[in-house]
Chain A
Amino acid sequence: MSIDHSNLTWSKPAADRLEWLRTRYPADKQRALILPVLHMAQREFGWVSPSVIDFVAAAIPVPTIQVEEVACFYTMYNRKPIGRWHLQVCHNISCSLMGAEIVLEHIEGKLGIKRGETTPDGEFTLMGAECLGSCGTAPMMQVNDHYYENLGLSDVDELLETLRATADIADDEANVAHGPGSGPSRKLPQDGEAHTAGSGVVLPGHAAGGH
C-alpha cells in the first residue's frame, strides 16, 4: 500500500485533529506541534518522506529544517518506506536474555531479509528495537501498533502467516489485536486517545501502553 507523496492533503479527521492540537500550545510556541503532527502525518502517509517533512513544516508552520531535525532525532519516525507490517523485535536486556537474538535471526531467515530491510513484496519490515517496556513478557515484538509477547519460534511462524493472510490493516486491526501468540496482545494507546485504550486487554500490574 503505497501512498502518493507528490500531492499530500490531510484526511478530514487529521485536519480536524491538527486544529485541535493547535489549541494545546500557546501561539508563540507552535513549534511544539512538530512531534504530534509528524506522528499524525506518519499515520496518514505511511512514512516521513522529504515531501511529508515539507508538508508538515508548511502546515504548522515552522522552518523545514526544524521538522527535519526532529524527524531525524527520533527512531519512531520512519524515514524510509516501510512494509505493510512493521516488525520491531525488542533486543534489549530482558528480551536478549530470553532469546531475542534467536527470534530475530529466525525472522531474518524466514523472510530472507536483514534487520532494517523490507521484503521485496513490501509486506514486512524487520527492525531491532530498544526496550519497549514489556520486560516481564520477554521476548516480545511490536507489529505496527500491537505487542506480541512471550514469543516462541512457532508463535512467530504462526504470526507471520496470519499477518500475510490478513488482507487489510484497517479492516482487520481488531482481528490482529487478538491474533496468535501465547501471551495476550495489548493495543497501544494512540496519542490523544488514551482514554479509549481501556477497552484493550491490559495485564494487571502493567502500566497501560508499557510506559
Chain B
Amino acid sequence: MSDQVTLTIDGKEVTVPRGTKVIEAAKQVGVEIPHFCYHPGLPVDGNCRMCIADVRTWNARAEKHFPARRPAVTCWTDAEENMQVFTDTDEVKKSRATVMEFLLINHPIDCPICDKAGECMLQDHYMQHDGKRSELREEKIHKPRLKPFGERIVYNGERCILCSRCTRFTAHVSKTHDLGIVNRGDRAVVELAQGSTFDNAYTDNVSDICPVGALTKTDFRFKKRVWFLKHTDSVCGGCSRNCNTVVDHDRAEIVRIMPRRRDEVNGHFMCNEGRDIYKSLAATVRTSAPISRVDELGAGPSWDDALAWAGGKLGEQKKGGKLAVIGSPWMSNEEALVLGHLAGKVCKSAWMDIKNDVIEGYPADDLLHTDDHNPNRAGVIAAGVVPGKKDGKDLAAIQEAIAAGEVEVLLVWGTGLANHYDSVEAMHEAVAKVPVVIQLTDAMDALSEVAQLVLPVRNWAERDGTWTNFEGHTSRFRKALRPHGQARDGFELLSAMCTAAGGKPPVKTFKDARKKLKQDPDSDVREVADGEFAFYKGQSLYRHHSGTTEV
C-alpha cells in the first residue's frame, strides 16, 4: 500500500499521507469543514457532529463508489484512496443546521455580554449554517454561570457545548487531569477535579481552544470587544522556546497575547507567563530621549549629538582596542549581526560577550518552558556576537579588565549587567572605573543610573526582527505598538553607529540582513490558530460578515 492516498473533496483532488483525517485533507484544498470539538492539537473525539459530510468510499472489486448510508464525521474518518467527499450537499447542510439547533437548545445566546462574541465558533456557525429562529418554548436549563476554575479561568456552564476540548487538553496536553465532564444529559457540566486548584502554567489555553464563551480568562473578561483588537504577529521572549504569538492591541496598548500555531516551535499553545509578559512590558521604566552624563553633551542631548559623540568614542578604539561589548540575548538576529560587525570589524573590540538579562523565571518543564529566560541567545551568537570571540576574552575577562581599569569604552545592550555582580553596588563600583559607558536599552536599570550615555531603543513590541530559539528555529516578530518617545530601532541605530564610528554597516537594509543570515523562510510562517477561522486574524467584523476570508 502506498503511503499517500488521493481523494476528491467537493470535486477538488488532493493527495495526503495515509492516516490523514478527511477534515485535514479538506483544509489543503481550501475547504473549511465547520467543526467544534475537533482540534488538530488534541486527540480526536468526534462528539459535536458538526463536521459531517457525505463520504463515499471506493470499492475496488465493484469498481464503484459506495453511496453513503449516512453522513460521516470527517474529523474521525481517515482519507482513503479514491474517496469522494461532498461537504456542501443539501443533506449535509440540513444535518449541520440540525446540529446547530441541538447545540443552541440550552445555550443562553448572551452574546452581547460574552467576551467570546466576535471570535465565537458557535456564533459564526449559527450565522453560516443555521440562521433559524428558535422553535423552543420550554425554559432553558440553568447551570452555574460564574464558576472560577483556578485564578485565571471562569467557567459558564450555560454557554458550554460540552465539546470536551478543555478536558482533552488537561488530559493529554498538560497531563494535569484538572477538568472533566460530570453528570449527564442536559445536566452535564465541565467540573474541576476534586482537589485540583487548576494553577498549572498552561491553563489559559483552555480558554483559547474553547469554541464558545464558556471558559473566559480573568485577565481578559470584559476588557475589550474583540473586534476592536488589532492583531500583530509576534514572538514570546519569556524563554528560549520563542512561542509564536499574536499580540492583540488597541490604542497603543497590548490587551492580550495569544498563541500562534508553529508546529516545530510551540505547536498550538503557550504558557500563562508568556501571556502576562505584556504587563511587565508596560511596567518597565523607560526614557523617551537620550540621557547623558558627560559635560560636552549636556543632560538631554539630541540624537545627532549623542550619536556623533558615541561614534567618536567607539572610533577612537580602532587603534586602542580597549572597547568591551556586552550584547544581550534579547537582541534580534539582525541587530546582533550589526553589533557583531560594529564591535569586531569597525572598532576591533578586544572583548565581547552576552550577558544574562533575565535570570528569574518559571522552571523548565516537558511542555514548553525552557530554563533560559531570554529569547535569543542562540540567534545572537549565530549572528556574530560570539562570547570571547577574540582570544576567549569573554564576560569574565571583561569583568576582570574592568576591575583592572583596562576598559576604556563599555558598550552594553539592554539590562541586567548587575546579574553578573554580587550586588548593584558592586556593579556600580566596577563600571565607575570605565571612562565611557554607553548603554542601548529599552528599559532603565541600575546601569542606566550611572552610564555616560543611555540611548533608548525600541522593545520587541515596537520593532521588527527575528529570534532563533534554542532548537534553531527562527521566528519573526513585528511592530505592534508605536515606539516610546524617541526610542530608535536597534538595527537602524547600530547601523548609524557603524557609520558614526567611521566604518560601514554590514548590510544596507533589514531585508539584506535577513538574507545575509540565511534565514529559513519558515521564520515568516503565518498560520492562524486552529479552530479559528482565518478571517479572525487581522480582519474586521465587517469583512468577516461580508464573507471575505483569508485562506
Q: Which residues of chain A have a CB within 8 Å of any CB of chain B?
A: 50, 53-54, 63-66, 68-69, 72-73
Contact = CB atoms under 8 A, between A and B. Distances in A.
A69 B171 CA distance: 13
Nearest to B191: A68
Contacts of B191: 65, 68
Nearest to A72: B182
Nearest to B179: A65
B467 to A, nearest CB: 36
A79 B184 CA distance: 14
B238 to A, nearest CB: 28
Contacts of B179: 65
30 contacts: A50-B194, A54-B194, A54-B195, A63-B171, A63-B177, A64-B177, A64-B193, A64-B194, A64-B195, A65-B167, A65-B177, A65-B179, A65-B180, A65-B191, A65-B193, A65-B196, A66-B177, A66-B180, A68-B180, A68-B191, A68-B193, A68-B194, A69-B180, A69-B182, A72-B182, A72-B183, A72-B184, A73-B182, A73-B183, A73-B184
A68 B179 CA distance: 10
Contacts of A64: 177, 193-196
B190 to A, nearest CB: 10
A66 B191 CA distance: 11
A63 B167 CA distance: 12
Given A53-B194, A54-B195, A65 B178 contact: yes
B160 to A, nearest CB: 15
A63 B183 contact: no
A178 to B, nearest CB: 36
A53 B181 CA distance: 15
A69 B194 CA distance: 11
Interface in B159-174: 167, 171
Nearest to B184: A73
Contacts of A54: 194-195
Contacts of B171: 63
Max chain B CB contacts within 10 Å: which of A53, A54, A65, A66? A65
A159 B17 CA distance: 68
Nearest to A75: B184
Contacts of B181: 69
A63 B194 contact: no
Given A65-B177, A65-B180, A69-B182, 17 more contacts: A50-B194, A53-B194, A54-B194, A54-B195, A63-B177, A63-B193, A64-B177, A64-B194, A65-B167, A65-B178, A65-B179, A65-B191, A65-B193, A66-B177, A68-B180, A73-B182, A73-B183
A138 B191 CA distance: 39
